[in-house]
Structures are given as structure tokens and as C-alpha cells.
Structure 1
């Protein structure tokens, strides 16, 4: 059952990132399904402007696009958890919150860190999601670099790339100090 559910989660990845991202526009738009549904139900009087071309839309698209990059390493770690540890905790009288905080999360720490590395590096280099879901009015360092290259401002683009590189390497060093990745691969 776990494998079947895992495969069901991978079905959206059979399409392009751009197609999956653009698919949010008919849902979140001013005349989209969500606004139409809220207006017809009488919950709101006017369309919600913050659903599309906002920070909310960018975060929603990132979650949709990159969830599997976090789920896969955590799933891998959870598959290695010895079920007898959980059963022993239950027999010892632990509740589900205590089992989660004392057994499952510490044993999944490496999967969480590896997933965080994947997500962080992908998000730092992604400029299409911010450009499309932000409506061209939001920016990040990748868009800055893209714009500088488009304007043939190579020194400024190189400076932005160095800042991005140093930031990513610094975060990777910090995250890699938290887990020995050689044991996990």
C-alpha cells in the first residue's frame, strides 16, 4: 500500500514544472474557480486579489512543484525505521506525540536535511516560478541575474551569481554539518 500511494504521489511529475505551475492560474485568477466559488457561496463580495500574482501564489507553486523532493528522502528514512522501536514505545506507555518527537523525527533527521538541501538549491535557482506566479512584479536573486544578463550587464550579473553561490554554499555547509550524508547514500 505504501508503494502504491508513493507512486500515486509521483503522477504529477509526469508533466512539466511549467505546466504544473501554470495550471494554478485558472484556479487562483480573478475569475478563477476559487474566486467564483467563494463569490457564488456568498463568502466574499469581490474577488480576492491576493490569490494570484502574490507571495501566496509563489509559495503555493513552490510547495506544489517541490514537495516530492522533500517527501522522497523522508519516505526513504521512514522505511528504515525499525517498527519494534515504535511498538516498544507504545508498550512503555508513550503517546503518539512522544513517539513522533522522540523516535520518528530523530530517525528521519537525515531525510529532512537531505530534502531541505534539495529544496533550498532548487528554489534559489528558480526564477520562472517567481516570474509567472508573481506576475512579473516580484523578484529574487535569480530574476536579478536573468535581468542583468538580458541587459548585457555581465559584471552585475556575475556579482549577483557570486552572492547566490556563496549563499547556497554557506547554507549547504550548515546543513551538511547536521547530517553525515555519506551514511545516507
Structure 2
């Protein structure tokens, strides 16, 4: 009786994931080849939605959003990796998780509020320009912080940086303390420790955080809508516009392309770094 209850408790989340995660993803691919009707779509097989994506300006917008998301990933690496190292190496063990909680707290606020709150800071007459002018770094306000691709990149970094810090910290947390003690005893300098120890061992966490930032950067429509200019269009915004235009097969095709992009990145990351090591102690 006890074993049967355990099996049931295990099957419930599996069934839940299949119904609400795996099945919708499979249906997304199937619906992407359906034929468009006036208000919905009907069964059939056509690649018109994919042609409509790849042979139009949508592909250029998609590639542009990928480029901007790549910049966000690089910036998040240079900001988030040192923070994760500092928490792992300099903060006391009992306080490390409390410090990590500080980076998670902003996500308890609605995403649209967090992104919209950046506009008074990044605008021409905003807080950032005022500070730069007060310290005499600039003479006139900078307009490139908002309603431009730069604003989108800043929004992505601010929105998703905690995920880079969190995933990297998980990888660093698996490194036993004696490794740092041995390096100190052998007189290993900081540059060598960073290059030969911290960076390789933290690679799975860095890749996981990079994939999260990259995929969300090309998929979340709020950031280019609120902080980007007229040319700031990502895959999420393309899908949203297709839904508004009642072109559901195109929306499904864009979603399928994003899904295959994510699966490809995860496959490459697993082959290079074995992402299962992220939650395993390092021996």
C-alpha cells in the first residue's frame, strides 16, 4: 500500500508535465503547419507560415534580437560572474543563501512593473542622465538609453542578471573548500585560479544562465515594447503581432522556431559541459 502511494505521488507530476508542457510543445509544431482560416486554422500541411517568417523582414528582426540578446549575455557574464565568485568566496557560508535571496526578491514584483520602472531612470531627463551630468561625465543628456536597442539590452540585463548569478553560484557552491585551500597553499595567483579552476568548474552554471538570458531576450515581448524603439522587434513580439492579426499558424511557427533554438542550445551545452553536473558536488 505504501509503495502504491509512492508510485502515485511520482506519477502525478509526470502526468502534469506531459499534459501541460510536453503536449503543448508537440501541438505547437503540429499547428504551425496548419492552414490559416479567417479566425482560426484548419488541419492540413503547409509550410507557408515558415516561408512567411524566413522570407520576410521577420527573419532580420529575429536575427537582430539574437544579436542584442548575445550582447546581454556577455554583459551579464562580466557583471554576474564576479558577483557569484564574491558571494561564494567572501561571504560567510551561513549568509550566502540570504545574499542570494536579495537577488531573487525583485522577481516577486510583476515583470511589467519592473521593466516600466526603468523608463524614468533611463529617459533623457531621467535619474541616470541627471547623475552623469551632476558628476560632469556628460554635458547634454543621452537619448540612447531608452527607445533604442541599447535600452533593450539594458532591460534584458537588469531583468535576467539574477539568473546568471544564481546558476553560476550553484556551480561554484559545488566546489569543495579544500580546493581553494590547496591553491592558497601552493601559491596559485588569482588569475591562474580564475582561468584554470573557477571558470572551467563554473562553466555549466554559466552556460545555463546564458541560455536563460538569451532565450528570454528573444522571447519576451515586454522589453522591446516598453524600452525599445520602432525597430526593436524580437520573436515574442512577432508572435504577439501574429496573434493580434489572427495569424495563429505564424505564431505557432515562431514559437516552434524558438523551441528548436532552445533545444539546440541545450544539446550543445550538454555535449560541451554535461549540464547534469550543475547540481552535483565536484570531486
Given that 1:66 and 1:119 are in contact with CA atoms closer than 8 Å, whether structure 2 keeps it comes out as yes
Q: Which segment drifts farther, 95-104 or 82-91?
A: 82-91
Residue pairs, 1:51-130, within 5 angstroms: 51-130=145-224
Question: Quick one: higher RCO (CA 8 Å, sep 6+), 1 or 2?
Answer: 2
Q: CA deviation at 1:101?
A: 1.2
**Of residues 171, 176, 179 in structure 1, which corresponds to 2:270?**
176
TM-score, normalised to structure 2's length? Answer: 0.59
Give 1:50 deviation, angstroms. 0.2
Question: What is the total number of aligned residue pairs between the two structures?
Answer: 185
**Which blocks of at least 5 consecutive residues in structure 1 are unaligned?**
none
Query: Whole-Å Cα distance in 1 between the matches of residues 148 and 232 of structure 2?
Result: 8
Please tell me whether the aligned partners of residues 113 and 178 of structure 1 are also in contact (alpha carbons under 8 angstroms): no
Distance in structure 1 (CA, Å) of the matches to 2:202 and 2:131: 39
- Distance (Å, rounded) in 1 between the aligned partners of 2:132 and 2:213: 32
- Distance in 2 between the 1:142 and 1:35 partners? 30
Structure 2: 5+ residue stretches without partners = 1-94
Alpha-carbon distance change, 165 to 3 in structure 1, aligned in 2, over 3 angstroms: closer
Q: What TM-score do the two structures reach when normalised by structure 1?
A: 0.87
The 1:79–1:156 alpha-carbon spacing in structure 2 relative to 1, beyond 3 Å, is closer
Specify the alignment match of 1:38 in structure 2: 132
Deviation at 1:136, TM superposition (A): 4.4
SS of the equivalent of 1:58 reads helix
Of the candidates 130, 154, 159, which is equivalent to residue 248 of structure 2?
Answer: 154
Tell me if 1:142 matches 2:232.
Answer: no
Compute the displacement of 1:25 (Å).
0.6
Cα 1:167/1:7, change in 2 over 3 Å: closer
Task: Name 1:4's counterpart in structure 2.
Answer: 98
Q: Which of 158, 165, 179 is residue 259 of structure 2 equivalent to? A: 165
Within 2, Cα distance between the matches of 1:6 and 1:158? Answer: 36
1:114: Cα distance to partner?
Answer: 2.2
